[in-house]
Amino acid sequence: MLHTLASAAADTPAPMAGATLYHYLVVSAIMFVIGLIGFLTRRNLIIMFLCTELMFQAAGIALIAFSRFHLNHTGETFVIFVLTVAAAEAAMALALVVLLFRRKETLDGTVWGDLKG
């Protein structure tokens, strides 16, 4: 039904057919915010890390969208770099989480309050 309504107007692209930059950026923003909120709210260290990865991916989506918008490959190239760095950083972060787990036998982030005061 939306399809027919959209094709009634001759020159406006159909919504389903035209996903503009705006839409990609919204998706990216929503993903980023979800990641951020998750990072700020969750206690489990691995879930916190997962949310940081989500934020990475959100940034990646924004970059790809801008790359497509500007019709050059700069954004895509940058995303490759971001993904590589994210992977390396994931390895390091998980190594740290393992070490932290070994220290306190729990994945709860709230036990690390020694810097209080």
Partner 1 sequence: MLQSLANLAAVFAQPAAFAFPATLAQADAGHQTPAVAHAAAAVLSVSEHFSWPVALIPIFPIVGVLLATVLAIFGNKSKLPAFLTVGCLAASFACAVKMYLDCTGGLGGTPSAPYTVHLFEWINYAWGGAPGQRFVADFSFYVDTLTCLWMLFVTGLGTLIALYASEYMSHDVGTGYCRFFAAFNLFVFSMACLVMGDNMILLFLGWEGVGLCSYLLIGYFYKRPSAVAAAKKAFIVNRIGDIGLSLGVMLTFVHFGSVEYSVIFAKAQPYLEAARQGDWLAIPASVSVIPLLLMVGAFGKSAQLPLYVWLPDAMEGPTPVSALIHAATMVTAGVYLVARMLPLFVLNEHALPIVAWVGSLTALFSATIGMAQFDIKRIMAYSTVSQLGYMFAGLGVTTAASLTAESAAAGPYHVFTHAFFKALLFLSCGAVMHGFGGQLDLRKLSGVAWMPGWKIVGFGMLVGCLNLSGFPFTAGFFSKDSILASAFSNPHLEIIGWILLVTAGLTAYYTFRVFFRVFVGPQQFEPGDEAHGHDDHGHDSHAHDAHAAAPAAHGHPHAGKADNADKAAHADFHPHPPGIAINVVLATLAIASLVIGGAAIPYMNHWVEGMVAHGSTGLAITAHAAGEAHTAGGHDAKFFGYDVHKAMMVVSSVVGILGILVAFVLHKQGRTTAAKSKADELLPLLGPLPTWAQNKWYVDELYNFLICVPLWVASHIFHLIDKLLVDGLVNTIGWLPRGLGWSVRPSQSGVLNGYAVGMASGIAIIFVLAIFMLR
The rounded distance, in Å, linking the Cα atoms of 10 and 46 is 51
DSSP 44: B
SS3 state of residue 11? coil
Q: Which of residues 16-45 bind partner 1 (CB under 8 A)?
A: 36, 39-41, 43
Cβ proximity to partner 1: between 44 and 72 the closer is: 44
From the CB of 17, what's the least distance to partner 1, in Å? 32
Spell out the residues 6+ positions from residue 4 whose beta carbon is closer than 8 angstroms to its own. Answer: none
Tell me if 51 sits within 8 A of 115, measured CB to CB.
no
| Total chain residues near partner 1 (CB under 8 A) | 13
Q: Which of residues 43-62 bind partner 1 (CB under 8 A)?
A: 43
Contact positions vs partner 1 (CB under 8 A) = 36, 39-41, 43, 109-110, 112-117
